[in-house]
């Protein structure tokens, strides 16, 4: 009985790892770094984490979790409620549809896949924000943010892969 | 035993896929519905935001501490390295300021004399609450900050936020322990201002860039680069005369203002409590809150 309970607990805690990492990068992204110009182009870190887990362990990141984390991001960042939820959901949907094409490919191909995803995510959030505020939000910072996010993918993927191997297996 | 289970899985797999697709579509619809709800019923979403803000503020305060320590360390080293140059600069500045002090004293006395002569109504009293910046939620879509002070410390929605250099923004949400500042560079920020030299009224409208735009009611007049912009006090959010920024670029139809405050490097800010004369009964509680760090 005890062993079974332990197994269940282990499985549950493993299942929570992806959501926990996304929550952690979200909170870390809010810490004021006081670097000039950084905050405007700060990478969309949650997008990276959602991409990573959707590629490697989609079973541990169901759409409901993505939705909840996205809504939480909107609440703490101050973006229109539902906007990040929408962007992250559609991203994970898009990625899981392309998952078979990317899985097992070289890192460069996956990085390229992420670059495309980050660009689409940036454009989607730009459209959503512009519609919400009923004005054309400036697109250049959005695209720069997308590019920064794409460029930083290897760093985050490396960290996440360590978490992946150590805690999820 | 294994065979029926296998058959069962074979049966349920298509249903599962269908259910998953249904859940996905429902969630996308839910996100869109949330956006509409946020646009329509701001009171409800604000309450939810306040609760989450209160919940994460202590975590953010903890996380931001190491970064703040590193930044302070860098500044200390920087200060040691520049001690000679800084000293010379400060000496010069001190001399200049001393002259200004003499002028200010004289003007203050003159002002007081004229006020008594005219029996002018004194302006509302201002006390302030110092708060630490624990979250920087700026991005391409919003420009806000999270402060580790809330209604428990006397902060309330609408209060102006400043530093020693000038205006930062104003409080848009205030939970019990945390509040959110809308920076003057945010898309939704509209600040009533004056051109100091010409006393011309204008609105400083943020557009998510570093330099908000000046919008004039009437003719822009002879606006020049380097003109000082101060708050006008119209609209009742900001007290009049707070420094905002200087005109950095003048175009045909719009001018851009460089804020005095470096909005990227804020560690502590002051939240102003405007105690209107009529509400002066509450002043004691205000001051008690102001004393709290």
The alpha-carbon gap from A149 to the nearest alpha carbon of chain B, in Å, equals: 13
Where b means 16+ CB within 10 Å and e means fewer, A12-50 reads eeebebbbebbbebbbebbbbbbeeeebbbbbbbbbbbb
Q: Band of the pLDDT at B278, cuts 50, 70, 90?
A: very low
Provide the β-strand partners of residue B273: B127
Mean pLDDT for B265-287 is: 63
Rounded Cα gap, residues B286 and B293, in angstroms: 13
pLDDT over 50 (residue A149): yes
Contacts of A145 in chain B (CB under 8 A): 139-140
pLDDT over 90 (residue B287): no
Q: Band of the pLDDT at A23, cuts 50, 70, 90?
A: very high
Q: How confident is the model at residue B273, as a pLDDT? A: 85
Q: What mean pLDDT is reported for chain B?
A: 83
Reported as a single tens digit per residue, the pLDDT across B187-230 is: 989 999 988 888 888 899 998 888 999 887 666 667 888 889 99
pLDDT over 60 (residue A25): yes
Highest-confidence segment of A103-107, B39-43, B248-252: A103-107
pLDDT over 50 (residue A51): yes
Q: How confident is the model at residue A34, as a pLDDT? A: 72
Q: How confident is the model at residue B228, as a pLDDT? A: 92
Contacts of B209 in chain A (CB under 8 A): 138
User: Closest chain A residue to B63 measured between Cα atoms?
Assistant: A31
Q: Do A32 and B30 touch (CB under 8 A)?
A: no
Kindly tell me the burial class for residue B163, based on how many C-beta atoms sit within 10 Å of its own C-beta (0-12, 13-18, 19 or more): middle
pLDDT over 50 (residue B293): no
Q: How confident is the model at residue B180, as a pLDDT? A: 93
Helix (H, G, I), strand (E, B) or coil at B247: strand
Q: How confident is the model at residue B220, as a pLDDT? A: 63
Where b means 16+ CB within 10 Å and e means fewer, B84-93 reads eeeeeeeeee
Q: Do B265 and A142 touch (CB under 8 A)?
A: no
Are residues A28 and B63 in contact, defined by beta-carbon separation less than 8 angstroms? yes
Mean pLDDT for A72-78 is: 90
pLDDT over 90 (residue A89): yes
B 218-247 residues inside an 8 A Cβ radius of A: none
Q: How confident is the model at residue B291, as a pLDDT? A: 41
Rounded Cα gap, residues B221 and B176, in angstroms: 45
Residue spans of the domains in chain A: they are: 2-30+56-168
Q: How confident is the model at residue A86, as a pLDDT? A: 95
Mean pLDDT for B237-259 is: 87
Hey, is the C-beta of B74 within 8 angstroms of any chain A C-beta?
no
Mean pLDDT for A62-70 is: 93
Helix (H, G, I), strand (E, B) or coil at B227: coil
- Residue B235 has a CB neighbour count (10 Å cut-off) of 11
Mean pLDDT for B102-118 is: 89
User: Closest chain B residue to A125 measured between Cα atoms?
Assistant: B141
pLDDT over 80 (residue B12): no
Hey, is the C-beta of B11 within 8 angstroms of any chain A C-beta?
no
> Who wins on pLDDT, B83 or B122?
B83
Least confident range from A47-51, A95-99, A114-118: namely A95-99
Q: How many CB pairs under 8 A join A and B?
A: 151
- Dump the DSSP string for chain A: -HHHHHHHHHHHHHHHHHHHHHHHHHHHHHS----TTHHHH---HHHHHHHHHHHH-GGGS-HHHHHHHHHHHHHHH-SPTTHHHHHHHHHHHHHHHHHHHHTTS-HHHHHHHHHHHHHHHHHHHHHHHHHHHTS---HHHHHHHHHHHHHTHHHHHHHHHHHIIIII-
> Who wins on pLDDT, A45 or B276?
A45
Least confident range from A106-120, A145-159, B23-37, B109-123: namely B109-123
Mean pLDDT for B153-173 is: 91
Handedness of CA B13, B14, B17, B19 (dihedral sign): negative
Mean pLDDT for B46-61 is: 88
Q: How confident is the model at residue B288, as a pLDDT? A: 41
Optimal mutation site among A23, A24, A29, A30, interface B, most CBs of chain B within 10 A: A30
Q: How confident is the model at residue B123, as a pLDDT? A: 62
Q: Band of the pLDDT at A32, cuts 50, 70, 90?
A: confident
Q: What mean pLDDT is reported for chain A?
A: 89
Q: Band of the pLDDT at B284, cuts 50, 70, 90?
A: very low
pLDDT over 70 (residue B76): yes
Q: Do B140 and A40 touch (CB under 8 A)?
A: yes
Q: Band of the pLDDT at B5, cuts 50, 70, 90?
A: low
The candidate with the shortest Cα–Cα distance to B273, out of B249, B244, B245, B237, is: B237
- Total-model pTM: 0.82
> Who wins on pLDDT, B210 or B121?
B210
């Amino acid at each position: 009985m005890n062993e079974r309970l332990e197994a269940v607990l282990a499985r549950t805690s493993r299942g929570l790892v992806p959501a926990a990492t996304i929550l952690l990068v979200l909170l870390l992204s809010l810490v004021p770094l006081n670097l000039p110009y950084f905050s405007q182009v700060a990478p969309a870190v949650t997008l990276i984490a959602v991409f990573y887990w959707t590629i490697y362990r989609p079973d541990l990141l169901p759409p409901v979790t993505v939705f909840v984390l996205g809504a939480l991001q909107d609440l703490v960042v101050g973006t229109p409620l539902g906007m990040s939820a929408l962007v992250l959901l559609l991203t994970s949907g898009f990625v899981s549809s392309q998952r078979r094409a990317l899985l097992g490919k070289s890192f460069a191909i996956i990085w390229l896949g992420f670059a495309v995803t980050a660009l689409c995510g940036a454009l989607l959030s730009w459209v959503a924000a512009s519609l919400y505020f009923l004005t054309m939000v400036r697109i250049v910072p959005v695209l720069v943010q997308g590019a920064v996010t794409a460029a930083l993918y290897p760093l985050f993927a490396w960290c996440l892969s360590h978490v992946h191997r150590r805690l999820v297996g | 035993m294994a065979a029926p289970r296998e058959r069962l899985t074979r049966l349920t797999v298509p249903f599962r896929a269908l259910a998953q697709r249904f859940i996905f579509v429902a969630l996308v619809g839910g996100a869109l519905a949330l956006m509409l709800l946020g646009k329509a019923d701001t009171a409800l979403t604000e309450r939810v935001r306040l609760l989450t803000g209160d919940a994460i503020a202590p975590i953010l305060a903890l996380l931001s501490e190491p970064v703040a320590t590193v930044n302070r360390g860098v500044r200390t080293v920087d200060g040691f390295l520049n001690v000679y140059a800084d000293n010379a600069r400060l000496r010069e500045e001190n001399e200049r300021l001393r002259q200004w002090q003499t002028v200010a004293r004289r003007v203050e006395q003159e002002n007081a004399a004229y006020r008594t002569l005219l029996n002018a109504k004194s302006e509302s009293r201002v006390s302030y609450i110092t708060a630490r910046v624990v979250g920087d939620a700026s991005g391409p879509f919003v420009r806000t900050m999270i402060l580790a002070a809330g209604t428990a410390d006397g902060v309330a929605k609408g209060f102006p936020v400043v530093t020693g250099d000038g205006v930062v923004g104003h409080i848009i949400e205030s939970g019990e322990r945390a509040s959110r500042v809308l920076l003057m560079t945010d898309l939704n920020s509209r600040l009533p201002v004056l051109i100091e030299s010409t006393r011309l009224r204008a609105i400083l409208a943020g557009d998510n860039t570093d330099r908000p735009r000046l919008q004039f009611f009437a003719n822009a007049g002879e606006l020049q680069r380097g003109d000082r912009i101060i708050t006008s006090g119209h609209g009742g959010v900001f007290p009049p005369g707070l420094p905002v920024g200087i005109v950095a670029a003048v175009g045909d139809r719009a001018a851009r203002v460089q804020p005095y405050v470096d909005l990227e490097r804020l560690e502590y800010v002051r939240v102003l409590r405007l105690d209107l004369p009529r509400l002066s009964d509450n002043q004691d509680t205000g001051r008690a809150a102001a004393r709290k760090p």
